[in-house]
Structure 1
Amino acid sequence: MTEGYHIYDPRMRPMLLMNAAVERIATGFRWAEGPVWFGDANCLLWSDIPNDRIMRWWPTGEMDVYRAPARFTNGHTRDRQGRLISCEHGGRCISRTEYDGRVTVLVDRFENKKLNSPNDVVVKSDGSIWFTDPDYGIMSDYEGHRAESEIGACRVYRFDPASNTLAVVADDYERPNGIAFSPDERFLYVADTGFTHREGGPHHIRVHEVIDGVRLGAGRVFTVIEPGFADGFRLDEHGNIWTSCGSGNAVAAFAPDATPLGKIDIPEMVSNLCFGGPKRNRLFITATTSVYSLYLGVRGHPIS
Structure 2
Amino acid sequence: MFGAPPTIQATTIAILPERFHVAGRVSGRYESRPFYIEGPSLSRDGTLYFTDIPGGRIFSLAPGGDVELFIEYDGEPNGTKIHRDGRIFVADNKRGIVAIDPETKQIETIVDRVANERLRGPNDLTFALNGDIYFTDQGNSDILRSHGRVIRVTSEGETAILLENIPSPNGLVLSPDEKFLYVAVTRTNAIWKSPLTVPPGLIPTVPVGTTGTFIQMSGGTGPDGMAVDQDGNIVIAHTGLGCAWLFSPIGEPLLRINTSAGLSVSNVVYGGPENRTLFITESSTGAIMTAEMPVPGHLLFSHTA
TM-score, normalization by structure 1: 0.82
Q: Using the alignment, how far apart are the partners of 1:265 and 1:191 within structure 2? A: 19
1:25–1:61 Cα contact (<8 Å) kept: no
Find out whether 1:285 has 2:280 as its counterpart: yes
The answer to whether the 8 Å contact 1:280/1:299 transfers is yes
Question: Which residue of the partner structure matches residue 191 of structure 1?
Answer: 184
Give, in whole Å, the separation in 2 of the partners of 1:298 and 1:22: 18
Q: What per-residue deviation string (whole Å, max 9, x for no partner) do you get for residues 132-158 of structure 1?
A: 00114x99xxxxxxxxx9xx9311000
Q: Which of 105, 109, 118 is the equivalent residue of 2:109?
A: 105
Deviation at 1:26, TM superposition (A): 2.3
Q: For residues 123 and 263 of structure 1, do their structure 2 counterparts lie closer, same or farther at Cα, with a shift above 3 Å needed?
A: same
Q: Hey, what does 1:94 align to over in structure 2?
A: 97
For the Cα contact (< 8 Å) 2:130–2:155, is it kept in 1? no
Identity fraction in percent: 29
SS of match in other structure, 2:89: strand
The structural deviation recorded for 1:35 is 0.3
- Are residues 1:33 and 2:38 paired? yes
Which of 170, 194, 199 in structure 2 is aligned with 1:177? 170
Residue 217 (structure 1) aligns with:
209
Counterparts of 1:47 and 1:82, CA distance in 2: 17
Match of 1:255 in 2: 248
2:297 paired with 1:303: no
8 A contact 2:14–2:289 mirrored in 1: yes
CA 1:262–1:279 in structure 2 vs 1: closer, same or farther (change >3 Å)? closer
- What are structure 1's unaligned runs of at least 5 residues? 1-6, 140-148, 195-201
Please tell me the root mean square deviation across aligned C-alpha atoms, in Å.
2.3
Q: Which runs of 5+ in 2 are unaligned?
A: 22-34, 201-206
1:89-238 matches, within 5 Å, as 89-91=93-95, 93-98=96-101, 100-136=104-140, 153-162=147-156, 164-194=157-187, 202-214=188-200, 215-228=207-220, 229-238=222-231
Tell me the amino acid that sits aligned with residue 133 of structure 2: I
Deviation, structure 1 residue 80:
3.5
Displacement of 1:276:
1.4
Give how far 1:21 is off. Answer: 4.9
Which one of the candidate residues 204, 214, 235 is aligned to 1:242?
A: 235
Rounded Cα–Cα distance in structure 2 between residues aligned with 1:274 and 1:243: 10
Per-residue deviation at 1:100?
Answer: 3.8
**Mapped pair 1:83 → 2:87:** yes
Q: Secondary structure at the match of 1:303?
A: helix
What code does the residue aligned with 1:287 have? E
> Offset of 1:33 from its aligned partner?
0.3
Structure 1: how far apart are the matches of 2:83 and 2:197? 21
Give the Cα–Cα distance (whole angstroms) in 2 for the partners of residues 26 and 295 of structure 1: 19
Displacement of 1:46: 0.5
Q: Could you say if the C-alpha distance between residues 54 and 222 of structure 1 is closer, same or farther in structure 2, counting changes exceeding 3 Å?
A: same
Match of 2:25 in 1: none
